[in-house]
């Protein structure tokens, strides 16, 4: 036990400073979100009459309703962010599932079934992580056109799968190289083949990295704007594009409350994913670094 | 259970030759130990037998069937790994039954087999646990159980005890030996622990640099090593090697031994026939520590024993014996004496050298003479 009173005061002061610093940083990061939430519950009259930043006098859900289903965005017949939100779901869920699964198989092959040149293959694949996506927009548009899926949800899924693979493969490969190779040998002698080993032994051990990969991919795909705006047509635009159009379609005054509600709606799924799976994310990111 | 024949097996990775022509004929039910320093190729040979590595050349036969190109799963071989390689996501029961399920055995039979193996290895109470909840010794048992469950023709053990603490290792060693005596299976067992090799093996194959240096019973390998490497590798503390010279002294082929400024001529055993033509040449005398002891009166009259006086440099008590380090021909020599007969460092004591089991090596090639 620490009995020296001077040391104890020093400890307490240190702690206090630490928490103060953490508190300030937390407030700094949370303040914009708080302002958005507060503003989204205020009516336009309140915003117009009073301060830009103020508490709502009453809980007004109009802005949320308008953003979700009533706002006229561009020249579309459907109103609100709802159709965009559904598009985003239709793009994100399959894209995340497919890219994660292929990444897992890639990582499995690159860790346990090395072939001639597999290290080179992996090295080249890593370039995909550093690729500026602006550089591939034109050639990729060409590819989508030739495949006959340009402007479609399928096209966007395909795009996100292809450009997500570099990361998902990297995640799984780096996780799997920490698993003992003898596990695979034992399973081979037990009579299991390539796929059975993957499904029965490797995949059940992948929970931490699956979580990381799903969160990562979900965030990437959901938040994507560049692909969404380039490779879509009006019927397949994701919510990020919808939000942009909502904020930029001005017919008269700027409706701050609707803009804020729309932004929160667009950000909500990623926020939820982090809240639900965040602790697994941190655990999974460090899982590869400690052996055993 | 089956015989295993390995003919001229070679394995290289690129330009690195790991196995350089391995030949072994293993009888049905034999317990074979592969022993050697790290990097000698013993684990690679094991993987080649299992089919986890393809051989570059040569042939492997089980019961006279060529299995050289056969997939691991069709070779009917089970292996126990150093890390145990239990499937962490399955409980013990699943671990044991996994191979049986893949082979599509009926459910009732699988259950019977798991029960049998669990009983044999006394792990019945662990069947529903996950590997993470088991101690090292228990995991070791489960790993063996997994191998035993499907009655394979050949069992391979890859350093199975090296992750256990010393006490458990001795216990499990005895248990593996009992198991082998009871089941009479063919086992190939890799270790770098020469005590494990001596105690378990029917025959030991000592490997170095991708070659088998010697393949024989433990006693043969111990008493009659093929070369200096084998002699030095087997036995602990290891054999003493003393540079000396062969001379003809009073009609006998002797080695010269200088101990405390006193020159001794020690006759070589008559079993070492090739020495006569080497008279006048330098040789390496190999003598095990237990052949240099304190003076035991009723052995002292034996014609192959000689008594020398030597100054003690260091003593190392081990319990049953004390190791006494002295100098002969200016080289350090370990002697094994009764603890209460051992003197103190700096003192002089009489040592009895038994020449009957000495061996001789070429100083350059290290080959046995």
Backbone angles phi, psi at B238, to 5 degrees: -75, 170
Location of structure tokens 């191979």? B99
pLDDT band at A18 (very low <50, low <70, confident <90, very high): very high
Task: Locate CATH 1.10.3720.10 in chain A.
Answer: 72-287
User: What is the pairing mode between strands B282-287 and B240-249?
Assistant: antiparallel
How many Cα atoms are found within 13 Å in the side-chain-facing hemisphere of B231?
Answer: 26
* Contact criterion met (CB < 8 Å) for B78 and A189: yes
DSSP B125: G
pLDDT of residue B300: 80
Mutant choice from B73, B136, B188 vs A, greatest count of A C-beta within 10 A:
B73
Question: Do B97 and B49 touch, CB atoms closer than 8 A?
Answer: no
Cβ atoms of B130 and B50 within 8 Å: the answer is no
CB contact under 8 A, B85 and A185: yes
Report yes or no: B99 at the A interface, CB cutoff 8 Å.
yes
Looking at the structure, tell me whether residues B106 and B212 fall in a common domain.
yes
Distance between CA atoms of residues B167 and B360, nearest Å: 36
% of chain B residues with pLDDT over 70: 100
Domain end, chosen from B203, B233, B263, is at B233
pLDDT tens-digit map of B280-299: 899 999 999 999 999 988 88
Q: Looking at the structure, tell me whether residues B196 and B273 fall in a common domain.
A: no
Closest alpha carbon within chain A to B158: A182
pLDDT band for A141, please (50, 70, 90 cuts): very high
Statement to judge: residues B229 and B280 lie in one domain:
no
What is the layout of strands, in order, in the sheet containing B240-249? B262-267, B252-259, B240-249, B282-287, B359-361
Q: What distance, in Å, lies between the first and last C-alpha atoms of chain A?
A: 32
3-state secondary structure at position B127: coil
CA count, 13 A, side-chain hemisphere, B118:
19
- % chain A with pLDDT above 90: 53
Indicate if B251 and B229 belong to the same structural domain. Answer: no
Minimum mean pLDDT range among A68-72, A144-148, A162-166, B290-294:
A68-72
Please report the pLDDT score of residue B118 as a whole number.
92
Check whether residue B161 and residue B307 sit in a common domain: no
**Per-residue pLDDT at A291:** 39
Exposure of A34 by Cβ count < 10 A (0-12 exposed, 13-18 middle, 19+ buried)? exposed
Q: How confident is the model at residue A43 (pLDDT cuts 50, 70, 90)?
A: confident
- Among B137, B223, B205, B204, smallest CA distance to B175 is for B137
Distances (CA, A) of A106 to A31, A159, A180: 42, 18, 17
Q: How many domains, chain B?
A: 2
CB B145 within 8 A of CB B121: yes
Contact by Cβ (8 Å): A167, A221: no
Confidence at residue B4, expressed as pLDDT on a 0 to 100 scale:
92
Residues B279, B208 share a domain: no
Burial class (CB in 10 A: 0-12, 13-18, 19+), A16: exposed
pLDDT for position B278: 86
Q: Which of B216, B213, B214, B174 is nearest to B196 (CA)?
A: B174
**Hunting for tokens 């020690």 — which residue is that?**
B266
CA distances from A249 to A39, A227, A260 (A): 19, 21, 14
Last residue of a domain, one of B208, B233, B258: B233
Shortest Cα distance from A203 to chain B (angstroms)? 10
Which CATH number goes with the domain that contains B308? 2.40.50.140
What share of chain B in percent tops pLDDT 90?
63
Q: Is the pLDDT of residue A288 over 50?
A: no
Asked if the peptide bond before residue B182 counts as cis, ω within 30 degrees of 0, the response is no
Of B212, B233, B254, the position where a domain reaches its end is B233
pLDDT at B117 over 70: yes
- For A190, the closest of B83, B88, B99 (CB atoms) is B99
Structural domain harbouring B305 = 240-361
**Any idea which residue has 């002797």 for tokens?**
B254
Comparing A282-291, B113-122, B242-251, which segment has the lowest mean pLDDT? A282-291
**Confidence bin at A285 (pLDDT 50/70/90):** low
Q: How far is residue B180's CA from residue B39's CA, in Å, rounded to a whole number?
A: 28
Asked whether the predicted pLDDT for residue A289 surpasses 60, the reply is: no
Are B209 and B250 in a shared domain?
no
Q: Name every chain B residue with its beta carbon within 8 A of the beta carbon of A204.
A: 89
Residue B367 resides in a domain: no
Report, as an integer, the average pLDDT of A32-54: 83
Residue-wise pLDDT for B299-331, tens only, equals 888 888 999 999 999 999 999 999 999 999 999
Asked whether residue B262 falls in the same domain as residue B323, the answer is: yes
Nearest CA in chain A to B75: A189
Sign of the alpha-carbon torsion through A275, A280, A285, A290:
positive
Report DSSP letters for B178-228, one per residue: HHHHHH--EEEEEES-HHHHHHH-SEEEEEETTEEEEEE-HHHHHHS-SBH
* Region label for B122, one of left (φ > 0), alpha (ψ between -120 and 50) or beta (otherwise): left
Q: What is the pLDDT of residue B301?
A: 82
**Which of A189, A193, A200 has the most B C-beta neighbours within 10 Å, making it the best mutation to test the interface with B?**
A189
Q: Which of A159-173, A278-292, B234-248 has the lowest mean pLDDT?
A: A278-292
Helix (H, G, I), strand (E, B) or coil at B9: strand
Please tell me whether residue A168 adopts helix, strand or coil conformation. Answer: helix
Q: Whole-angstrom Cα distance, residue B241 to residue B60? A: 38
Q: For residue B94, what pLDDT is reported?
A: 94
Residue scoring higher pLDDT (B81 or A7): B81
Q: Is B89's CB within 8 Å of A201's CB?
A: yes
B301 and B169 share one domain: no
Residue B146 forms contact with A (CB below 8 Å) = yes
Express each pLDDT in A168-189 by its tens digit.
999 999 999 988 889 999 999 9
Q: What is the pLDDT of residue A284?
A: 64
Model pLDDT, residue A292: 36
Mean pLDDT of A26-36: 92
pLDDT at B272: 74
Write out pLDDT tens, residues B168-225: 888 889 989 998 998 889 999 999 888 899 999 999 999 999 999 999 999 999 999 9
Instruction: Identify residues of A whose CB sits under 8 angstroms from chain B CBs.
Output: 180, 182-183, 185-193, 196, 200-201, 204-205
Beta pairing partners, B293: B352
**pLDDT confidence bin for A287, thresholds 50/70/90:** low
Across the interface, which of B50, B81, B89 has its CB nearest the CB of A204? B89
Quick one: pLDDT band at residue A286, thresholds 50, 70, 90?
Answer: low
CA distances A70 to A105, A245, A246, B116, B163, Å, are: 44, 14, 11, 70, 68
Binary contact (A185, B103; C-beta < 8 A): no
Residue A176 phi, psi (nearest 5):
-70, -30
Q: Do B253 and B215 touch, CB atoms closer than 8 A?
A: no
Rounded to a whole number of angstroms, the distance from the CA of B362 to the nearest CA of chain A is 42
d(CA B342, CA B323): 8
Share of residues in chain A with pLDDT > 70 (%): 94
Q: Shortest CA distance to A230 belongs to which of A249, A214, A244?
A: A244
Question: Of A182, A185, A190, A203, which to mutate for an interface test with B (greatest number of B Cβ within 10 Å)?
Answer: A190
Clarify whether residues B218 and B315 are in a common domain.
Answer: no
DSSP assignment of B19-71: EEEEEEEE-TT-EEEEE-STTSSHHHHHHHHHTSS--SEEEEEETTEE-TTS-
Token digits of residue B113: 């087999």
- The b-or-e profile of A121-145 (16+ CB within 10 A means b, else e) is bbeebeebeeeeeeebeeebbebbe
Q: Do A192 and B82 touch (CB under 8 A)?
A: no
Summarised one tens digit per residue, pLDDT across range B332-366 is: 999 999 999 888 999 999 999 999 989 999 999 99
Question: Does residue B117 sit at the A interface (CB-CB below 8 Å)?
Answer: no
* B369 domain residue, yes or no: no
As a whole number of angstroms, the distance between CA B58 and CA B8 comes to 5
pLDDT exceeds cutoff 90 at A155: yes
| pLDDT digit string, tens, across residues A53-75 | 777 777 888 888 988 888 877 76
Average pLDDT of the residues in B11-40:
91
Q: Which residues from B are below 8 Å from A191, CB to CB?
A: 73, 99, 102-103
* C-alpha angle B150-B151-B154 in degrees, rounded to nearest 5: 115
CATH of domain A72-287: 1.10.3720.10
> For residue A181, what is the nearest residue in chain B, using CA coordinates?
B85
Q: Tell me what the mean pLDDT of segment B96-120 comes to.
A: 92
- Please tell me the distance in Å from B29's CA to the nearest CA on chain A: 20
Q: Please provide the average confidence, as pLDDT, over all residues in chain B.
A: 91
pLDDT at A290 over 60: no
**Based on the domain organization, do B156 and B249 belong to the same domain?**
no
How confident is the model over B211-235, as pLDDT tens digits?
A: 999 999 999 999 999 999 999 999 8
Do B86 and B170 lie in one domain? The reply is: yes
Q: Does B54 score more than 60 pLDDT?
A: yes
């Amino acid at each position: 036990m620490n009995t020296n009173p001077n040391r104890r005061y020093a400890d307490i002061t240190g702690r206090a400073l630490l928490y103060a610093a953490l508190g300030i940083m937390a407030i700094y990061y949370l303040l914009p979100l708080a302002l958005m939430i507060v503003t989204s519950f205020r009516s336009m009259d309140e915003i117009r009459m009073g301060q830009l930043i103020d508490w709502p006098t009453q809980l007004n859900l109009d802005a949320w309703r308008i953003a979700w289903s009533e706002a006229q965005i561009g020249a579309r017949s459907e109103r609100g962010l709802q159709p965009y939100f559904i598009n985003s779901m239709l793009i994100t869920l399959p894209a995340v599932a497919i890219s994660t699964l292929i990444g897992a198989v890639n990582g499995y092959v690159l860790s346990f079934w090395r072939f001639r040149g597999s290290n080179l293959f992996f090295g080249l694949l890593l370039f995909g992580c550093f690729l500026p996506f602006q550089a591939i927009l034109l050639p990729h548009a060409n590819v989508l056109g030739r495949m006959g899926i340009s402007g479609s949800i399928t096209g966007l899924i395909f795009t996100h799968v292809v450009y997500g693979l570099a990361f998902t493969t990297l995640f799984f490969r780096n996780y799997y190289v920490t698993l003992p190779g003898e596990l695979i040998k034992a399973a081979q002698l037990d009579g299991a083949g390539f796929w059975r080993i993957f499904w029965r032994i490797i995949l059940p051990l992948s929970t931490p990295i699956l979580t990381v990969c799903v969160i990562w991919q979900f965030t990437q795909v959901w938040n994507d704007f560049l692909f969404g705006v380039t490779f879509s047509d009006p019927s397949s635009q994701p919510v990020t594009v919808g939000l942009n159009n909502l904020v930029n379609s001005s017919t008269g005054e700027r409706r701050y409350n609707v803009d804020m509600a729309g932004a929160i709606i667009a950000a909500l799924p990623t926020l939820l994913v982090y809240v639900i799976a965040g602790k697994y994310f941190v655990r999974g990111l460090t899982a590869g670094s400690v052996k055993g | 259970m089956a015989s295993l024949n390995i003919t001229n097996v070679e394995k290289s990775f690129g330009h690195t030759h790991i196995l350089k022509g391995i030949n072994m004929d293993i009888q049905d039910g034999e317990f074979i130990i592969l022993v050697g320093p790290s990097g000698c190729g013993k684990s690679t040979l094991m993987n080649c037998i299992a089919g986890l590595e393809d051989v570059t050349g040569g042939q492997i036969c089980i019961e006279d069937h060529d299995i050289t190109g056969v997939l691991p799963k069709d070779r009917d071989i089970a292996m126990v790994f150093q890390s145990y390689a239990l499937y962490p996501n399955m409980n013990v029961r699943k671990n044991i039954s996994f191979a049986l399920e893949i082979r599509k055995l009926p459910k009732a039979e699988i259950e019977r087999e798991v029960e049998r193996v669990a009983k044999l290895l006394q792990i019945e109470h662990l069947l529903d646990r996950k590997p993470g909840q088991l101690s090292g010794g228990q995991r070791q048992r489960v790993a063996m159980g997994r191998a035993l469950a499907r009655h394979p023709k050949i069992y391979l053990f890859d350093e199975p005890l090296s992750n256990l603490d010393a006490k458990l290792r001795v216990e499990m060693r005895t248990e593996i030996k009992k198991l082998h005596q009871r089941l009479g299976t063919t086992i190939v067992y890799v270790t770098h622990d020469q005590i494990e090799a001596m105690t378990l093996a029917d025959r030991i194959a000592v490997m170095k640099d991708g070659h088998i240096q010697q393949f024989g019973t433990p006693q043969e390998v111990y008493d009659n090593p093929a070369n200096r490497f084998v002699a030095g590798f087997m036995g602990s503390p290891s054999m003493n090697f003393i540079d000396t010279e062969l001379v003809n002294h009073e009609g006998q082929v002797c080695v010269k031994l200088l101990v405390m400024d006193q020159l001794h001529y020690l006759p070589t055993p008559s079993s070492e026939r090739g020495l006569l033509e080497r008279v006048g040449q330098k040789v390496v005398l190999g003598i095990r520590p237990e052949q240099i002891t304190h003076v035991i009166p009723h052995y002292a009259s034996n014609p192959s024993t000689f008594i020398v006086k030597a100054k003690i440099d260091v003593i190392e008590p081990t319990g049953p014996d004390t190791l006494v380090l002295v100098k002969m021909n200016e080289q350090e020599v370990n002697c094994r004496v009764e603890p209460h007969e051992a003197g103190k460092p700096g003192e002089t004591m009489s040592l009895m050298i038994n020449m009957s089991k000495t061996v001789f090596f070429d100083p350059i090639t290290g080959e046995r003479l």
